[in-house]
């Protein structure tokens, strides 16, 4: 006689989880945890996961019932023939309560194994969701709460940080636990935290200190937004995929002041709860017959999007389909996504979306008169000497890429010898070393550098490493605005507007008669290349193939672009609902364009010719979206034919500005390649106890050259001028060194490790 196994299926934003239990509650088969991102679609991941689970079942057992939970519970109920659905809160509460009731809650805590017979509080954090469940003294869930659509405090955030740092997610926690001093990271929003992480990277803060800072920021966000003012009852159980991160567990332990226990099956607890729920339901009904489709793995499923034209809501209706042999038309299993019943009225549901209002952005097509164009690089009246024949370098330290440029002056013009980009990969010092080595190799034999310009978020760090002093040199540290305009105006002297979109920053530069008007994005990745890369990575599409996929679209999806986190969540929900990938990709390109124009470009004069710079504009889909939205031709929105000039515009502009400083009479203080590359540079996270000062400042960063402090960062509005760039005197250097009251420990690296190329 075949025994029954009752299966719980939890399909979330990041994984498919499957657990089966027998009538007596014992587990049958092997629990399955499958990452959706490893498959072309959630349905493909579901089929693979279920096939893997069924292979682990004994031949003596058959499926007696199946329940679904997670954000995809309703759709997947139709696909697999589920018997019931329950919310994630309910499923997770039942799963952990079952372990406690049956004496199987032997959890790994911070100080060894603990066996619990009750549950006080459940912290559950998955890929996109975070929730808390607080039980009362009788073991009944008394309070629960979830995060909003924002991914703050979720596994997706940690995965993005791990990707930026260039480490496997499994190494995140162990590395974080080696931190000497966790840095303070903005906890207002996920995107703000990511921006702080990048800026700290550019200041050379050791990776463990940054990762542990992220753990604390994530926990602070969770406790504030999910737990709120509710008292936390011990024992505290941590479940969900993020529970595997030892750094986050330690941050929770410190924040809540109690042990944090990781239970068995922590990553499939929702599926376990659903298995128990469907078992109890089946055993309580004498005439129970499961609706499970035993052959669902062989069936072909699809989905389509229909648009409701019945009211201004313009709802996007998802219809899961089953394609049955011998039938021309697929069977519609359900219709979801409606805000009202208007979609059911004849004629309202159509295959094409209703017209979308055009974004009204006035473009001035009258070029600026020649006399209003100005040269910020080498104004004629300020040129004191010729630079002809000399070489100049530019370094642009970005959060995602470090660019290096090498120019030879031909007088008014320049010859571009080399432009190269290096992946910052979470280590600004190593990226700088790679750039300097490449510049040295590219420099013509017998030539030296007459000036080096630096810009970007790591521009100050780079300048302090490569030069002996900060003032009155041709080694000019410029803002990104000036550097990008310098290169655009060199290429097109009558440029009216510069649009620049990089990995994490976006800016607009509008050329006025009396100077430059500009705006930048403020601590948000919406409308930047990082947004595109995150979505491309989620769909397992190389960013180089993004445009190719996007241009296969028949109708670009409407993607939320007001926030990068909201936008990515919107795409995830639409993908699960059945939107084709090409429609999502092209829709996102338009979303980036709209966000840029409505936020960064708001109120700015946009005059042709417009020059497009930054790596994001190498994406043909984004370029197409801007030209289409603004109604511009190739001669009005210009992208340099040489892609190096698009990506390396900041470094090229910085080199031009260094050339201009030389022509005004300033000489270089560049230390020389051999001196810099032959030295050891590292940073330490410290706190300052400078004797004459009564303040005790935390979270400061000092840069050391061969164990000697030469600079400090993270300005603290110090009356003594400490930790605000190069040390101006020996007294200042002494105050910033360990002998002068600096209490910190250097990042644990072998000598010279910061200069090893990745």
State how far Cα 154 lies from the chain centre: 12
Q: Is residue 735 part of a domain?
A: yes
Low-confidence ranges of the chain (pLDDT < 50): 1, 109-112, 739-758
Same domain? For 502 and 621 the reply is: yes
Same domain? For 400 and 479 the reply is: yes
Q: Is residue 145 part of a domain?
A: yes
Same domain? For 188 and 220 the reply is: yes
Domain enclosing residue 596, as ranges? 497-647
Same domain? For 639 and 654 the reply is: no
Q: Is residue 289 part of a domain?
A: no
Cα separation, 727 vs 733, whole angstroms: 5
150: left (phi over 0), alpha (psi -120 to 50) or beta: beta
* Of the candidates 392, 514, 370, 511, the residue with the CA atom closest to the CA atom of residue 444: 392
CB 486 within 8 A of CB 512: no
Same domain? For 162 and 211 the reply is: yes
Total structural domains in the chain? 6
Cα separation, 339 vs 341, whole angstroms: 7
- What single DSSP character describes residue 263? -
Give the three-class secondary structure for 380.
Answer: helix
Same domain? For 175 and 311 the reply is: no
State how far Cα 55 lies from the chain centre: 37
Contacts of 3 (CB under 8 A, 6+ apart): 22, 23, 28, 60, 61, 62
Q: What's the predicted TM-score (pTM) here?
A: 0.69
Same domain? For 428 and 520 the reply is: no
Q: Is residue 295 part of a domain?
A: no
CB 520 within 8 A of CB 602: no
Task: Supply angle C-alpha 272, 274, 276, rounded to 5.
Answer: 70
Q: How many CB atoms lie within 10 A of CB 611?
A: 27
- Specify the pLDDT at position 577: 67
- 510 sits in which H/E element: strand 506-512
List C-alpha distances in Å: 191 to 73, 125, 203: 29, 18, 19
Q: Is residue 434 part of a domain?
A: yes
Find tokens 């035993």 and name the residue. Answer: 294
Give the three-class secondary structure for 174.
Answer: helix
Q: What dihedral angle (degrees, nearest 10) is formed by the CA atoms of 396, 522, 585, 556?
A: -140
Same domain? For 426 and 402 the reply is: yes
> Beta partners for 416?
407
Same domain? For 416 and 330 the reply is: no
Q: Is residue 375 part of a domain?
A: no
Structure tokens at 117: 């017979």
* Of the candidates 597, 581, 502, 504, the residue with the CA atom closest to the CA atom of residue 545: 581
Same domain? For 254 and 112 the reply is: yes
Same domain? For 411 and 441 the reply is: yes
Q: Is residue 746 part of a domain?
A: yes
Task: Supply angle C-alpha 509, 512, 513, rounded to 5.
Answer: 155
Same domain? For 638 and 666 the reply is: no
CATH for 94: 3.30.420.40
Give the three-class secondary structure for 612.
Answer: strand
Structure tokens at 132: 């808390």
Q: Is residue 293 part of a domain?
A: no
């Amino acid at each position: 006689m075949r025994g029954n196994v009752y299966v719980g299926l939890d399909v979330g934003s990041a994984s498919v989880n499957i657990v089966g239990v027998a009538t007596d509650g014992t587990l049958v088969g092997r629990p399955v945890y499958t990452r959706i991102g490893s498959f072309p679609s959630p349905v493909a991941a579901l089929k693979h996961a279920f096939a893997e689970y069924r292979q682990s079942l004994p031949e003596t057992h058959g499926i007696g019932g199946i329940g679904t939970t997670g954000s995809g519970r309703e759709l997947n109920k139709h696909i697999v023939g589920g018997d019931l659905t329950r919310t994630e809160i309910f499923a997770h509460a039942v799963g952990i309560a079952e372990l406690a009731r049956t004496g199987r809650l032997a959890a790994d805590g911070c100080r060894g194994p603990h066996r619990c017979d009750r549950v006080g509080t459940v912290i559950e954090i998955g890929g996109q969701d975070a929730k808390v469940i607080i039980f009362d003294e009788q073991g009944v869930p008394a309070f629960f709460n979830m995060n909003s659509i924002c991914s703050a405090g979720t596994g997706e955030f940690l995965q993005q940080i791990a990707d930026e740092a260039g480490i496997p997610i499994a190494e995140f926690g162990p590395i974080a636990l080696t931190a000497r001093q966790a840095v303070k990271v903005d906890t207002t929003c996920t995107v703000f935290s990511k921006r702080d992480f990048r800026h700290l990277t550019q200041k050379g803060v050791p990776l463990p200190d940054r990762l542990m800072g992220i753990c604390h920021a994530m926990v602070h966000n969770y406790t504030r937004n999910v737990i709120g003012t509710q008292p936390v009852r011990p024992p505290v159980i941590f479940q969900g995929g993020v529970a595997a991160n030892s750094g986050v567990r330690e941050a929770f332990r410190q924040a809540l002041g109690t042990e944090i226990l990781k239970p068995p099956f922590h990553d499939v607890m929702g599926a376990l709860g659903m298995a128990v729920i469907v078992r109890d339901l089946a055993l309580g009904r004498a005439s129970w017959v499961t609706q499970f489709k035993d052959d669902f793995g062989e069936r072909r499923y699809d989905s389509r999007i229909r648009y409701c034209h019945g009211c201004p809501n313009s709802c996007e209706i998802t219809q899961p389909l089953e394609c049955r042999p011998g039938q021309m038309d697929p069977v519609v299993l359900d219709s979801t996504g409606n805000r009202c019943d208007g979609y059911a009225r004849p004629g309202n549901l159509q295959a094409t979306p209703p017209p979308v209002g055009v974004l009204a952005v006035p473009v001035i097509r009258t070029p600026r008169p020649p006399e209003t164009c100005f040269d910020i690089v080498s104004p004629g009246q300020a040129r004191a000497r010729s630079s002809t024949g000399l070489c100049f370098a530019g370094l642009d330290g970005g959060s995602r890429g470090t660019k290096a440029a090498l120019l030879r002056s031909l007088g008014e013009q320049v010859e571009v010898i080399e432009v190269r980009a290096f992946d910052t990969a979470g280590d600004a010092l190593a990226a700088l070393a790679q750039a300097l080595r490449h510049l040295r190799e590219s420099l013509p034999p017998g030539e030296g550098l007459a000036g080096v310009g630096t810009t970007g978020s790591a521009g100050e760090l780079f300048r302090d490493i490569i030069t002996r002093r900060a003032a009155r040199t041709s080694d000019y540290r410029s803002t990104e605005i000036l550097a990008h305009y310098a290169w655009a105006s060199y290429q097109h002297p009558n440029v009216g507007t510069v649009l620049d979109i990089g990995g994490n920053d976006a800016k607009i530069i509008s050329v006025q008669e009396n100077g430059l008007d500009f705006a930048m994005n403020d601590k948000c990745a919406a409308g930047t290349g990082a947004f595109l890369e995150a979505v491309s990575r989620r769909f397992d599409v190389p960013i180089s193939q993004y445009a190719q996929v996007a241009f296969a679209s028949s109708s670009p999806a409407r993607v939320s672009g007001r926030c990068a986190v909201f936008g990515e969540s919107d795409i995830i929900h639409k993908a699960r609902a059945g939107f084709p990938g090409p429609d999502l990709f092209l829709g996102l390109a338009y979303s980036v364009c709209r966000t840029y124009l409505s936020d960064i470009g708001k109120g700015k004069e946009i005059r042709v010719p417009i020059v497009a710079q930054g790596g994001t504009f190498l994406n043909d889909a984004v370029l197409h979206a801007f030209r289409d939205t603004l109604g511009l031709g190739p001669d009005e929105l210009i992208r340099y034919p040489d892609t190096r000039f698009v990506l390396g515009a900041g470094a090229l502009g910085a080199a031009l500005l260094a050339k201009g400083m030389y022509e005004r009479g300033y000489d270089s203080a560049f230390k020389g390649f051999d001196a810099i590359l032959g030295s050891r540079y590292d940073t330490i996270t410290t706190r300052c106890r400078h004797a004459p000062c009564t303040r005790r400042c935390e979270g400061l960063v000092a840069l050391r050259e061969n164990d000697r402090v030469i600079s400090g960062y993270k300005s603290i509005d110090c009356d003594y001028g400490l930790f605000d760039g190069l040390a101006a005197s020996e007294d200042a250097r002494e105050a910033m060194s360990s002998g002068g009251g600096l209490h910190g420990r250097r990042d644990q690296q072998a000598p010279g490790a910061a200069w090893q190329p990745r």
